[in-house]
Amino acid sequence: MALHIGEEAPNFTAETTEGTIDFHDWIGDGWAILFSHPKDFTPVCTTELGYMAGLKSEFAKRNCKVVGLSIDPVTDHKEWAKDIEETQGHAVNYPIVGDSDMKVAKLYDMLHPEASGPSEGRTAADNATVRSVFVVGPDKKIKLMLTYPMTTGRNFDEVLRVVDSMQLTAKHQVATPVNWKAGDDVIIVPSVSNEQAKEKYPDGWKTLKPYLRLVAPPK
């Protein structure tokens, strides 16, 4: 099933390293990041899960939870976590879903197109989930989808930057320009007239083109 930005994130109930969760209930009234990795005890993902553990407090400041997923069982996740802490310097401090029946992987279209299912004589361990990232908002809708190749480590600093942008634009009628970082000027969206903008931004803005107006970020 192909998913799209703006659609409701499929709900699921699953076993994790921190117990059973109902995904929508677990998200609550905040934001969430769901990211998959192909298999436990793999090198690139070992570095990723450790780095994400180091960033968890930053996401928490933004009322954003983190959950990982692999088609390996929870028992394997707990063993792998020891290696992650040893090599990356951060203990895994967020739940990891054990998706051995591939229910969640199928819901989120995470199965590699060349992977064969158990019905073809292979086990779940033979299948590869693609390395995807989903950001889900408080309304339980998908706000961002990223998919990376197996050999390229993900940039979770970029995911943090995007969360900052999406949370800002969700509250104000603005957009963020290329390479925007928190504190940089933002764009007044074209649907806001100059008259409306004067009320919102009495200190003024910079007009590069009638459709491109830059202003200091709202507090």
Residues serving a catalytic function are: 45
Q: Closest Cα partner for 150 from 70, 39, 59?
A: 39
In terms of C-beta density within 10 A (0-12 exposed, 13-18 middle, 19 or more buried), how is residue 202 classed? exposed
Backbone φ and ψ of 182, nearest 5° = -50, 130
Question: 172 — alpha (psi -120 to 50), left (phi > 0) or beta?
Answer: beta
Q: Closest Cα partner for 176 from 158, 194, 156, 152?
A: 158
Q: At what angle do helices 43-61 and 156-171 cross, to 10 degrees?
A: 30
In terms of C-beta density within 10 A (0-12 exposed, 13-18 middle, 19 or more buried), how is residue 92 classed? buried
Which residue is associated with the tokens 């990041």? 33
One-character DSSP codes across 140-188:
SBEEEEEEE-TTS---HHHHHHHHHHHHHHHHSSEE--TT--TTS-EEE
Q: Are 158 and 133 in contact (CB under 8 A)?
A: no
